[in-house]
Structure 1
């Protein structure tokens, strides 16, 4: 059964905001990756004076003319930012701040002039462009937004490889002779289109958030451009639909701000729970890494104790191991218990107390750990100047080193009788 608040008009608004969010997420991802997020914000604010000037020139509320004026004004703002950055000593963040504040101030003044114009000022409705008027979306608006979204998608698909290189390595693209400036302008044009056609729905102030939040949230979930664009598009679509649905469900709630708050919620959720980059994901990864380091250190310690008796594996008194200095007693007990659960240790009781013995699997792991750590020690001793560029503490093996270097280090350990053999020999009978 369809909820009572989902009327025909609400469905039209849902479709419009969903398409707008999807398009904003798609093109806004490039702005986020290109570190041009605030440029989209400046473009949205710079569009306001264009709306007012277009109304003054036409003399009536003509949506195509006003959107064209907003597009010209927005692109002019971006051009001013580019000129200030390249022709003066003004930094990019300062240039964005200047354009954002000056153009928005001019837009507010022009909007007030329009409002004070006798006869037509009250019909301009320019105030709705500041915070948006989502409820005013009609079917023709949906067709326009769908057309803009389709054009953006086709252009990105056609120039995907060029955009990818320009976003991640513009200097290399420039050296290869690619038209980086034109590609940048094309991207800014797509962002400008998304901004201009989003102004009547979510407004100048909130459009920038709709551009930035989906791409910024998607960045926490993946390192690859293709999946990031898909995810940002899905996030943008979901933000638009959920925000509009909440606004329709609870009467009196403004749709634009609700959409942005939903986007903020998606971003916060990504910050917290994304597997690799999220706060919780990183905390879990760090916790697992510390456990791995503890296990390896204990296996190395146990291997040093049993190495003189190999190929026979002698039992080790648990009380003696727990009483040694270094790691806290409770922590050592937890490490040993974990190794028992993993099948690396076997625990037995006799008259001498509790004894633990490395299993075949535990001895294999201990040999690998001892070999890797001794190779690292050998490497640091003979090539300390290379350690900073080649060592990787997140790796459990020395395979990050070149094969010929590993062979040389192994030979050095073999000559001194300190190289653990990875294949276990059967004990003599």
Structure 2
């Protein structure tokens, strides 16, 4: 067991994949907090599925697995899907946002599946591994992919730190922020663009089906431990990074264990543990506080009744 553990940690491929997935876990955890605070968790799922036809069309055009160009194609498709969702939500037809999300998600994902089936006829389709974008295949990551993810992660962290107050206002009171001028409208677009890039970058490792879990689950887990935004963001980054490393390690040590689902299972386990056992907002903590409040209320009522009886005497 120890020998296997040492061999995996020293493996060059594991080091590249682990570092890339950890960076993705960190940045998705941070950005996912703002997405959940804006009550747009389902949007991450829709964007992930909507990116699939863009990736497929990009491959049909370039006939090569160029990670950057494929991601550009996926990003364009995700932005197009978002525009359609906003158009449907704001149209006089009365379509609500959840219905628009479901419509766009299913349509784009169905188109992407058809295009990937068509791509399988190409002689270089199996080598390109386009089909792996559905469920992810982190083992196919290269050093250039790691560099691209690293550059984006650093850029995203710098922007979040520099625009912390503005992103905080957008997350808690978007209507008031928009009333402050066009500056906040541009910043909201910037925040959304960062989320799109984070989602698209994670498609190769986790896949379109599971990418929303990498974005949302760390935020859900961290919110159970604190109500302070800075701590929630920090914990979300830690949870995302740790789950990415542990999931990649389990995938490398096991046999035929896909990396993406392993990462999602780990972060889901952290989320469920936090929902139950977190001392701040966990289910058990809330039950204990509720029980204590009931006892305190009963004691106050009993004391009041006794005082009322004494005064009547």
TM range (shorter): over 0.9
Could you tell me how far 1:178 is from its partner in structure 2?
5.1
Match of 2:111 in 1: 106
Q: Which runs of 5+ in 2 are unaligned?
A: none
Measure the CA separation in 1 of the matches of 2:109 and 2:149. 24
Q: Which has the higher helix share?
A: 2
Match of 2:8 in 1: 5
Note the alpha carbon deviations across 1:22-72, whole angstroms, 9 max, x for none: 111111111111111111111111111111111111122222211111111
Question: How does the TM-score come out when normalised to structure 1?
Answer: 0.68
1:291 aligns with 2:281: no
**C-alpha displacement of 1:98:** 0.9
C-alpha distance in structure 2 between counterparts of 1:76 and 1:177, whole Å: 25
Residues 67 and 145 in structure 2, CA contact (< 8 A), matched pair in contact too: no
- RMSD of aligned residue pairs (Cα, Å): 1.9
Distance 2:210 2:73 in 1: 19
- Whether 1:62 and 2:63 are equivalent positions in the alignment is no
The structural deviation recorded for 1:141 is 2.2
8 Å CA contact 2:177–2:184 kept in 1: the answer is yes
Which residue pairs with 1:72 in the alignment? 76
Distance 2:172 2:12 in 1: 44
Corresponding residue of 1:187: 191
* 1:298 Cα offset (Å): 3.6
Contact 1:132/1:199 (CA < 8 Å) preserved in 2? Answer: yes
Which residue of the partner structure matches residue 37 of structure 1? Answer: 41
Residue 264 (1) aligns with residue 268 (2): yes
2:132 corresponds to 1:128: yes
- Contact map agreement 2:56 2:112 (CA 8 A) in 1: yes
Equivalent position of 2:90 in the other structure: 86
Q: How does 1:209-358 map to 2 (within 5 A)?
A: 209-304=213-308
Bigger relative CO (Cα 8 Å, ≥ 6 apart): 2
Kept after mapping to 1: 8 A contact 2:221/2:270: yes
Q: Which runs of 4+ in 1 moved over 6 A?
A: 305-309
Residue of 211, 229, 232 corresponding to 1:207: 211
Q: Which residue of 2 aligns with 1:116?
A: 121
Query: TM-score, normalised to structure 2's length?
Result: 0.92
